[in-house]
Amino acid sequence: MHAAPGRQDHPVITAGQLAEADGVLFGTPTRFGMMAAQMKAFFDSTGGLWKEQSLAGKPAGVFFATATQGGGQESTALTAVTQLAHHGMLFVPVGGTHGAGMLIMDEPSSLWRSTRGGTSPASLRSSSPCEIWFTAP
């Protein structure tokens, strides 16, 4: 899949560990309007959890990043929700309670607050994250 090598300082969850969580928030980059192949492969590895209904009733949400504002955010959210639905998980959207403040495109905080759960940091002048990206709205 030509992905960058894994970083040793980041913990990696296994599919089996999902059953231990009270809820899950999945994050993935967008590839042509869908989740990245690596994330889809991870979901494909959860068949045993589906068989046992281990994730049924657990709350779950998704967030993702695109290279542009029109980079397939809506379709990525839809394809991710189908994975959650097959497991009987309860989809909890990131939500959008920030009104018109979400439309201020020169402020990075508006990108974090997307109702779809997606961001497009490539549209900013700086490639460095700003402080607000590290705080929940």
pLDDT in tens, 106-119: 554 444 445 455 55
Other beta carbons within 10 Å of 103: 10
pLDDT beyond 70 at 101? no
- What pTM does this model have? 0.69
Burial class (CB in 10 A: 0-12, 13-18, 19+), 35: buried
Assess if residue 118 is contained within a domain: yes
Q: How many domains does the chain have?
A: 1
Assess if residue 53 is contained within a domain: no
pLDDT beyond 60 at 11? yes
Residue numbers of the domain that contains 83: 25-36+59-134
Q: What residues does 29 pair with on adjacent strands?
A: 65
Assess if residue 79 is contained within a domain: yes
Assess if residue 90 is contained within a domain: yes
Assess if residue 11 is contained within a domain: no
Residue pLDDT, tens place only, 19-70: 999 999 998 888 888 888 889 999 999 999 999 999 999 999 988 877 776 6
Q: Which of 94, 102, 107 is nearest to 64 (CA)?
A: 94
Assess if residue 5 is contained within a domain: no
